[in-house]
A and B are shown apart, each in its own frame.
Chain A
């Protein structure tokens, strides 16, 4: 048991003895709090009439009042917007080992390299879940507060809300595993960060949007990691904003997302992790 527990404890220690985890947690909280707070105030104001619908440009799209139940939508921002943070944490944890040449002392202490990568995956899964809790503290905490202010039921007594919260934590945990996988696939830290930002902020949203144009591409588009994540969580602003987009079921989405993380990690193990450390 020590054979895996010790490396896992060491991986936690690596993350917690540098500043990156709490910087990311802080920015995640602020970012989600801003979006969740702002949009819940906007929608809350629209719903109770304190903001006139005429004052808002809805882009000719769906009437805001039909966007489903508001609170789960706002709460889901923790994952649908915040998922880039666990990916970054995972990618930095892995690429940092290459960049700072800490693979040398790591592999000297634990020569079984697969064990080290497994330990890192487990530790980052837990750290991703923790980031999920931070993101939810912002989206649910701030969102529910604002909804209550507008006299809208924040649905905190609803079992479905808590289901969403649990699935969000799981999604964020898996995203951190995807980050580890990306980090071993692309050990260059700069390249990894650029890929994370470009893919999550630009390429994937574009692909998901474009895939909704035909039925065939939509069937492929629902397997994109972001779409799989939204399917797992069950609510997302993005899926509501592109009504043509198809989604997997929740458990399918979770499995697809996990497959991305594990496949990338296993491929990365052979591409970079097993290589000579020079």
Chain B
């Protein structure tokens, strides 16, 4: 069983001319867990991953696998499997030939081609030209490439993009099982909801800078909860809340009051003699915390 290495980014920075795409990023990705690498489009995720894989030269800083840069790995495909954008294929080559080329380059056994195509569910399309593949099939082929060397580290850039619901379900289970085997799994996405069900840790960047890192649950407490309240006589409720000096906004299911304690809102209604038919606390979703972090990053 391949053992995952720790991925470590140390003060990595990339400037394209005057534009700083990635600014002084430092974080570590641990084996045995699925780590979500999140941020809006243009945040610098792909550039960061490409620096990790030696495809883009960092302006400064380093990115390593167990202390080694990608280009210094003795057998890169046996150590790290990477799937970047879904378009890295010659359209006239069949899936099996595409994988065969890189199996040859890396000196891997040819039997791996059929094995990985089977793993990603493309076995019956192995001899089809990639030009005729759907986006979902290309994603799977990219994933198949990453698995050729049975690596201990997986680096996947937006692997869920373009997958159908069945494919999404499959890849979630796949990522979890890879991590459970002790591999390091780093998955980027611009949508937290896409990976929320499968990631253990999150690293969030915005505008090329780190804005949050930690277990998924650490996103939970970042935003103050709110109280949702409604009444058959909403006008009376509005008056009562206004008199009590509470800030609120109108929502679809009632008034959203910016206080954490439903008891306080209930008490105000009770003393004003307003009947309530809705009163509960709403915790902001993880997605809301994520968006708040990302937008906060943008205002930096």
A interface residues (Cβ-Cβ under 8 A, vs B)? 2, 6-7, 9-10, 13-14, 17-20, 96, 100-102, 104-112, 276-278
Instruction: Please name all residues of chain B whose beta carbon is closer than 8 Å to the beta carbon of A104 when the two chains form the complex.
Output: 55, 84-85, 88
Given A17-B97, A102-B90, also A108-B85 (CB < 8 A): no
Q: Are A17 and B88 in contact (CB under 8 A)?
A: no
Q: Is the CB of A105 within 8 A of B56?
A: no
Residues of A within 8 A of B71 (CB): 111-112
Residues of A within 8 A of B94 (CB): 17
Contact mask for chain B residues 25-48; partner A; CB cutoff 8 A; 1 contact, 0 none: 000000000000000000000110
Bound: A206/B94 CA distance, A: 43
Question: CB distance B104 to A13 under 8 Å?
Answer: yes
Quick check: B100 and A108 within 8 Å, CB to CB? no
Chain B residues with a Cβ under 8 A of chain A = 46-47, 50, 53-57, 70-71, 73, 76-77, 82, 84-85, 87-94, 97-98, 100-102, 104-107, 145
- Taking CB atoms, residues of chain B closer than 8 Å to A112 are 71
**B105 and A110: CB pair below 8 A?**
yes
- How far, in whole Å, are A13 and B90 apart by their CA atoms in the complex? 13
Cross-chain contact B56 with A19 (CB below 8 angstroms): no
Given contacts A13-B100, A17-B94, A17-B97, contact A107 B89 (CB under 8 A): no
**What residues of chain A lie closer than 8 Å to B70, measured between beta carbons?**
111
9 contacting pairs across A/B (C-beta < 8 A): A13-B97, A13-B104, A17-B101, A100-B87, A106-B102, A108-B82, A110-B106, A276-B55, A278-B47
* A258 and B119 alpha carbons, distance in the complex (Å): 46
Minimal beta-carbon separation of B46 from chain A (angstroms):
8
Whole-angstrom distance between the Cβ of A107 and the nearest chain B Cβ: 6
> Are A102 and B89 neighbours in the complex by a CB distance under 8 Å?
yes
Instruction: Find chain B residues with CB under 8 A from A2 CB.
Output: 107
* Pairwise interchain contact B50-A277, C-beta atoms closer than 8 A: yes
Asked whether A276 lies within 8 Å of B57 as measured between CB atoms, the reply is: yes
Q: State how many angstroms separate the Cβ of B128 from the closest Cβ of chain A.
A: 13
Least CB separation from A2: chain B residue: B107
| A101 touching B105 in the complex, CB below 8 Å, given contacts A108-B77, A109-B76 | no
Chain B residue at minimum C-beta to C-beta distance from A10: B105
A170 to B115, CA, bound (A): 41
